[in-house]
Amino acid sequence: MTPPAIRFGARLTRAITQFGPVCVGIDPHPSLLEAWGFEDDGPGLERFGRTVIEAAAGNAAAVKPQAALFERRGIAGIAALAGVLRSAKQAGLLTILDVKRGDIGSTMAAYAQAYLSDDADLAADAVTLSPYLGFASLAPALDLAEATGRGVFVLALTSNPSGPAVQHARDVTGRSVASAIAQGAAERNRGVQPIGDVGLVVGATVGDGAKQADVDLIGFGGPILAPGFGAQGAGVAEVHRVFAGAIDHTVVTSSRDILRTGPKVANLTDAIVDMREQLAT
């Protein structure tokens, strides 16, 4: 298995430089499908995704399909997700599949094969992973991502209000859970230029959370996926405060604020460009 000449971290850095730091969520909620006039079925889900991709291509660094909102429609939804991932690739967009998988042993290896192998129907450029069975439990996914030139984003400091109860908790040595996760990522990224392929999910709404949890967002050496912009409460000031010194390898996600402007591609494009321009200030 030969990885591509340009690894995920480098590809994402290049996309941020070319198109700005916006990552557009592809979240086909039933209410949005209804508002857009699309059926809540496989073809409707795929049409939704392709509409977002058309608007995002050339205007955003990446798209982030939310797997659960496709999976809820069963086989038809999974087929639609596969079609959306193919369409994004054809459009030249990086894909970050939001699956938040986390398990041990052969089960984690199976998840990795489903999303990170070259021949997988649901292969994405990167996936989100949950490390709460221990960072080492992610090894099968990290190893396969490394072998295929893909990336992962590991949950570290999330934007949900209850996250700190787990992520700020400290072990017997006094180290926070989030700090241990970031240190694990740093070890995997060591020596990879310009940045590694093991990223962190850090909410734009966490305020001083990284400092409080002793998480070094610069020193871990990988990309950052930052949810929480817009509808969840974070603005440009919060992004620059939380990710100071790491903004060049941070991709900021937005779903609701952009998707509510659909289904017209022109309106979605305007919303994406507006967010990109806000973040450039």
**Which residues are tagged catalytic?**
100
Task: Cis check for the bond before 164: say yes or no (omega within 30 of 0).
Answer: no
Q: Tell me the C-alpha distance between 69 and 45, whole Å.
A: 9
Q: Tell me the C-alpha distance between 22 and 225, whole Å.
A: 10
Closest C-alpha among 29, 44, 27, 35 to residue 79: 44
Type of residue found at 278: Q
Is residue 252 within 8 Å of residue 204, measured between CB atoms? yes
Q: Tell me the C-alpha distance between 2 and 153, whole Å.
A: 22
1: exposed, middle or buried (C-beta count within 10 Å: 0-12, 13-18, 19+)? exposed
Q: Tell me the C-alpha distance between 224 and 146, whole Å.
A: 17
> Residues 73-110, buried b or exposed e (16+ Cβ, 10 A)?
beeebbbbbbbbbebbeeeebbbbbbbbbbbeeeebbe
Q: Tell me the C-alpha distance between 115 and 257, whole Å.
A: 27
